[in-house]
Amino acid sequence: MAIAPPHEGNAPDPAHPRNGFDRFFEITARGSTLSREVRGGLATFFTMAYIVVLNPLILGGAVDGDGKKLAIPALAAATALVAGLMTILMGVVGRFPMALAAGLGVNALVAYEIAPQMTWADAMGLVVIEGVLIAILVLTGLRTAVFRAVPTQLKTAIGVGIGLFLTIIGLVDAGFVRRVPDVANTTVPVGLGINGKIVSWPLLVFVVGLLITIVLVVRRVRGAILIGILASTVMAIIVEAVANVGPSFVNGKPNPHGWALNVPELPKKVVDVPDLSLLGNFNVLDSWSRVGWLIPLMFVFTLLITDFFDTMGTMVAIGQEGSMLDERGTPPRAKEILLVDSIAAAAGGAASVSSNTSYVESAAGVAEGARTGVANLVTGVLFLLAMFLAPLSLVVPFEAASTALVVVGFLMMTAVRTIDWTDYEIAIPAFLTIALMPFTYSISNGIGAGVISFVVVKLAKGKFREVHPLLYGVAVLFVLYFLRGPIESVVL
């Protein structure tokens, strides 16, 4: 548990707040000061600002079922806008130092699994539906019930699996891992770089940038991920100016030595009026008529599972860091915190930037002394200012941004140590959950395999009472999900 920051001189008695602002946010009551809250808000922003660059690259690099892409500058502006507004809302309503932004893992699910089967508007409509459902679960108390139904170690495995999934996305997007040509005598599906070698400038930038980021993370430098992206981007700009590498496709022909997605060249202008054209570009009904009812239903369920489990864990982790949990392990204003998080999920879909969720990087702000929603006001305002710097997102190539995906994957995987690998009844479902996400390039496949195998193992051991009734329903839904091909051929 974190040690509270040293007492700063002449702080008022907790029983006597300085003014109405202090009383509303409980700054003094929680043992904090305005200066600590400002420092905490700054620390939180600099540890998670990379999402303004990374989210557009993840979503902007995918195509929907009609072969269309979302504009990266518009994605960057909307990502910053929603993050800013929802972080401020959390500060005012939840009064808890936990910032929100587009969720890593969830955005990958939307980009690589949902959107390819429908339009972007349809995919974002499913995110809105998921946010509304989470809000209903919060208001009715069912969110806690579903949360308790899934074993803790299986929840941990879901997070670990998503971390590995993000890692392989980062390695593939950077070109560090590539498909091996399907030729005679080739049994390995993927390989290192180009013909097993690092022979291009972009690959070298990725490797050096990743090493820089790793060193910063090991040295506990605040903002290590963002600094790593910026350092890699500067390096990429210099390399492009000297070597004139060019894009990965030239006149429709592949250039394996080129930059992925963005060529790192300085834009004509750095500050611009934000492009907010993606706001409101969602549709909650068309996906159901386009691909049938089962696929959207399972995607909404998968979004819901991956979204709110992450939030519950993050909320508790931040509360532990700041010694803000009660005797039951619950932070203050828990219901309000979860309600704002659900609103953020829907808002992210409505703005076409994927579900917004809480960020564990907020613990950096808590480590700086943040204990209230005032820190969120600082972080949120900085996100809103970042909205005007959207043109800079076109400068960052995948080779620079993918360093963050790999490192974030590592950070998410560290929780694997809390799984009891000697207990096969939970270890095997956890293993399947973790393994199938990256190996099938699917988050939902991993979750489904874990839930189904857990239920089957418990039934085989005669321990059916150890499975929450809700989990039986979840398992049935996932069985339907895996059998959707044969089912649709019969039903449709």
User: Of 468, 100, 437, which Cα lies nearest the Cα of 302?
Assistant: 437
Answer whether 0.85 is exceeded by the pTM.
Answer: no
Whole-number pLDDT of residue 374: 96
Task: Tell me how far apart the alpha carbons of residues 269 and 256 are, in angstroms, rounded to a whole number.
Answer: 29
Q: Is the pLDDT of residue 5 over 50?
A: no
The answer on pLDDT for 7 being more than 50 is no
pLDDT of residue 186: 61
Please compute the mean of the pLDDT values over residues 405-420 and round it to a whole number: 85
**pLDDT exceeds cutoff 70 at 77:** yes
Instruction: Identify the residue whose tokens are 């963005």.
Output: 262
| pLDDT at 91 exceeding the cut of 80 | yes
Neighbours of 469 (CB within 10 A): 8
Give me the pLDDT at residue 183, please: 52
Higher pLDDT, 435 or 309: 435
For the segment 121-154, what is each residue's pLDDT rounded down to a tens digit?
999 999 999 999 999 988 998 876 776 678 878 8
pLDDT given for residue 237 in this prediction: 93
More confident residue, 295 or 284: 284
Distance between CA atoms of residues 163 and 62, nearest Å: 19
Q: Are 467 and 452 in contact (CB under 8 A)?
A: no
* CB distance 180 to 189 below 8 Å: yes
Tell me the HSE value of 304 on the side-chain side, using a 13 A CA sphere: 24
Residues near 287 by Cβ (< 8 Å), separated by ≥ 6?
118, 119, 122, 123, 125, 126, 295, 296
pLDDT, averaged across the chain: 85
Render pLDDT for 474-485 as a digit per residue (tens, 0 to 9).
888 888 878 866
Asked if 429 contacts 157 with a C-beta cutoff of 8 angstroms, the reply is yes
Q: What is the phi/psi pair of residue 193, to 5°? A: 55, -140
Would you state the pLDDT for residue 9?
46
Q: Which three-class secondary structure string do you get for the chain?
A: CCCCCCCCCCCCCCCCCCCHHHHHHCCCCCCCCHHHHHHHHHHHHHHHCCHHHHHHHHHHCCCCCCCCCCCHHHHHHHHHHHHHHHHHHHHHHHCCCCCEEECCCHHHHHHHHHHHHCCHHHHHHHHHHHHHHHHHHHHHCHHHHHHHHCCHHHHHHHHHHHHHHHHHHHHHHCCCEEECCCCCCCCCCEEECECCECCCHHHHHHHHHHHHHHHHHHCCCCCHHHHHHHHHHHHHHHHHHHHCCCECEECCEECCCCECCCCCCCCCCCCCCCCCCCCCCCCCCHHHHHHCCHHHHHHHHHHHHHHHHHHHHHHHHHHHHCCCCCCCCCCCCHHHHHHHHHHHHHHHHHCCCCCEEECCCHHHHHHCCCCCCHHHHHHHHHHHHHHHHHHHHHCCCHHHHHHHHHHHHHHHHHHHHHCCCCCHHHHHHHHHHHHHHHHCCCHHHHHHHHHHHHHHHHHHCCCHHHCCHHHHHHHHHHHHHHCHHHHHHHHC
Render pLDDT for 428-447 as a digit per residue (tens, 0 to 9).
999 999 999 889 887 778 88
Between residues 10 and 182, the one the model is more confident about:
182
Residue type, 115: A
Q: Average pLDDT of 221-235?
A: 86
Six token digits for residue 335:
């219901």
Confidence of residue 488 (pLDDT cuts 50, 70, 90): low
How many CB atoms are closer than 10 A to CB 68? 11
pLDDT at 4 over 50: no
